[in-house]
């Protein structure tokens, strides 16, 4: 590939995994503090006029110091914009999407807030995976 630039995204490795795996591993973890940190990060992202586009538990990682870190900011939006195909399907967590985004494909700061609210419900639930399973059955 001499002379060609290959785009890449480098991110830290979070050994604690995402927020749902973390609260399963550490049941005494302060879930409300973790989601508060994620919400604060989303406010900061939105203050820069950036739409996350895929807010879900898998995109909130927990650092070694126990703080929540929002990841994959606008990655699928960037993939869509740089693709030569209009109908590119980017894997996403549909159960966290707003009805507007699912129906019309709109991505805004408001759809991010909806996704964050569903994420908070999932994280604060005593059984973090139960919501995903239940909503899947409701939609199917």
**If pLDDT is split at 50, 70 and 90, which confidence band does 140 have?**
very low
CATH number at residue 104: 1.10.510.10
Residue in this structure with the two tokens 């960037």, named with its chain if needed = 78
**If pLDDT is split at 50, 70 and 90, which confidence band does 139 have?**
very low
The count of structural domains within the chain is 1
Whether residue 12 is contained in a domain is answered as: no
Range of the domain at 94: 19-139
Q: Is 126's pLDDT higher than 60?
A: no
Whether residue 6 is contained in a domain is answered as: no
Q: How many helices (H) and strands (E) does the chain have?
A: 6, 2
Mean of pLDDT over the chain: 81
0.85 surpassed by pTM: no
Whether residue 3 is contained in a domain is answered as: no
Whether residue 48 is contained in a domain is answered as: yes
Over residues 103-131, mean pLDDT: 83
Whether 132 and 118 have beta carbons less than 8 Å apart is answered as no
């Amino acid at each position: 590939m001499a002379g060609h630039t290959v785009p890449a995204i480098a991110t830290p490795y979070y050994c604690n995994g995402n927020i749902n795996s973390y609260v399963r591993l550490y049941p005494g973890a302060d879930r409300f503090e973790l989601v508060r940190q994620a919400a604060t990060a989303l406010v900061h992202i939105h203050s820069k006029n950036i739409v996350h586009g895929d807010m879900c538990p898998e995109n909130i990682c927990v650092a070694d110091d126990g703080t929540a870190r929002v990841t994959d900011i606008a990655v699928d939006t960037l993939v869509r914009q740089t693709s030569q195909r209009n109908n590119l399907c980017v894997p996403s967590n549909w159960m966290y999407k707003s009805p507007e985004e699912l129906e019309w494909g709109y991505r805004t700061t408001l759809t991010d807030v909806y996704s964050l609210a569903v994420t908070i419900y999932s994280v604060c639930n005593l059984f973090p995976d139960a919501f995903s399973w239940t909503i899947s059955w409701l939609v199917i």
